[in-house]
Amino acid sequence: MGGMTSQNKPKKSPMTTEPQLPQVNFSEDGEVRYLHLGSEWVQGSMWLDKPYEIELDYVRRMMAWLLFVEDLDEVPQMHAMQLGLGAASLTKFCFKKLETLTTAVEINPDVVAVCRHWFKLPANNAKLNVVLGDAAHVLKQPEWRRSVDALQVDLYDHEAAGPVLDSADFYASCRDVLSENGVMTVNLFGRHASFNVSMQNMAQVFGEDAIWAFTPTREGNCVVLAQARAHQPERLDLLARAQAIEARYKLPCVKWLKMLKPWRDSGSLDNVNALKTE
């Protein structure tokens, strides 16, 4: 399920590139601390009094892969991987709340350092591993093949424009690391010109029947899910799972069922305007 280490420093991928990386800083308003990459765009956040909960709505939706887990008692035996650390909200939640084997891939060492010092990210240990490297390269390493049950992709640069990695080849690498019943969740900007291209690339790799999409948040974030094995649970089964997830992990899953639909039921891949805002 991947090479975990007990070292305190993030593991560095041997294929890490050295691009020009933005300055990392943060701000706070008394209740929430925000991560920035040299701009006003929020790259992540943390409640100061609840550091292991998820503050941003769209980031909570990135946990919707749990709806496709038949038995929540099996979650601690699963492997969750995040591409893009952000403020480490997903990484901390998976590690602390779900108790999964958790791997995060981050290209910017300053993001890792800031998350460790200011965002309560624990040091690497037997069930938590921060890998320093380019996600596109890390995914191609054979140790990850078919090892990831939940892959959470949130890769934006300091300008927060379109996704940094978004090609069909990249999504093929994502599919290669998923286990048989694995699920990928991706943060996209539903109002951005790249959205339709992203959906077409995912459909090319996973197939349209394997793709589910949330209605965008008010800020425009559209979380998309892609299943390694396309399957559509009955709505009553999804409701029962949502209620169980909400009770155990305090995620608002029941209301998600009103916002999450198979993509083929949401309109054409060429018509992002078919998605309303929630």
Contact present, 141 and 131 (Cβ < 8 Å): no
Write down all domains in the chain, each with its CATH number in brackets. 56-274 (3.40.50.150)
- Ranges 118-122, 242-246, 260-264, 274-278: which has the least confidence: 274-278
What b/e string do you get for 12-28 counting C-beta neighbours within 10 Å, with b at 16 or more?
Answer: ebeeeeeeeebebebee
Question: Which H helix or E strand runs over 106?
Answer: strand 101-106
List the catalytic residues.
154
Contact present, 135 and 84 (Cβ < 8 Å): yes
10, pLDDT greater than 60 = no
CB under 8 Å to 159, separation ≥6 — which residues?
39, 41
pLDDT tens by residue, 157-209: 545 555 778 899 999 999 999 999 999 999 998 666 678 889 999 999 999 99
What's this model's pTM, rounded to 2 decimal places? Answer: 0.88
Question: Which H helix or E strand runs over 117?
Answer: helix 109-118
